[in-house]
Homo-oligomer: A and B are copies of this chain.
Amino acid sequence: MPDSEFAGRFLGVLGGMGPMASAVFMVRLTALTDAASDQHHVPAMLWSDPRIPDRPAGHAGTGADPFPWMLNGVRHIERAGAGVIAIPCNTAHLWYDKLAASTSLPVLHIVRSVVADLRRHGIMGGRIGLLGTVPTLNSGLYQHELEAQGYQCVLLPQSDLLRYCAEAIRLVKVNQVDAAQEPAVHSVQLLRQQGVDAVVLGCTELPLAVPAQIRPSMGVAVIDSIDALALAALDWYRDA
């Protein structure tokens, strides 16, 4: 049987950052697909490597460099024959330019996916509250892209960010998703009180701590970076 029988475009997912976020990305990719049977879903390969060193520590220079490990994952995805790479980790996008330059495959950008999702929600401008890890927010990763698209960015004071948002991320990473809900929801509420038009869950652990079913009652649009990236991947697959 010729290999070509199995040819066809498939999605490569550089995951494990953390492993729950990339597993939930696969769940959301499936749930967001309009499918009448298994065979209508998107073929994908997930490289889930939780050994990739901690991104915030690596960025701060206080821990091992995660980049060589990410590149190892990219090489696995390339060798398997994927047509595009999605990275369900916002902080990993601090290495986006370096990763994108290291491969001939297109790499979806999670922040650009979030901008597309804001527009899908009809939010074409205004004040956007940002939640995420400290290095993601301090780097300006979101601010640069959102401001270029005409949005204004609103951040929590660093003390609140550490106390509520970083704490929620930490709890998800140690499998305490239920305990993560209170600090995560409080982070969203603090931004809502500043009159923002939407809050971006700009760390892929946060959507787990703010489950979809409670979002409609939060009084502000909540943009989920996992869903945004999954929708970008589905767009890629449909356009292929």
Contact = CB atoms under 8 A, between A and B. Distances in A.
Size class of the A contact interface (CB-based, 8 Å): 35 or more
A50 B41 contact: yes
Interface string A164-206: 0000000001110000000000000000000000000000000
A53 to B, nearest CB: 7
Contacts of A129: none
Given A43-B48, A80-B80, A175-B33, A54 B27 contact: no
Contact of A30 (B20, B47, B72): B20
Given A1-B68, A27-B24, A53 B37 contact: no
**Count of identical protomers in the assembly:** 2
A54 B76 CA distance: 28
Interface in A114-147: none
Contacts of A29: 19, 23
Interface in A40-73: 40-54, 68-69, 72
Interface string A70-82: 0010001001100
A81 to B, nearest CB: 8
Given A19-B41, A48-B46, A50-B43, A35 B76 contact: no
A210 interface: no
A36 interface: yes
Interface of A: 1, 3, 5-6, 8, 10, 16-20, 22-24, 26-27, 29-31, 33, 35-54, 68-69, 72, 76, 79-80, 173-175
Given A19-B41, A26-B48, 19 more contacts: A3-B72, A6-B72, A17-B38, A20-B27, A23-B23, A35-B174, A35-B175, A37-B54, A37-B173, A37-B174, A38-B50, A38-B52, A39-B54, A41-B50, A43-B49, A43-B50, A45-B47, A45-B48, A80-B80
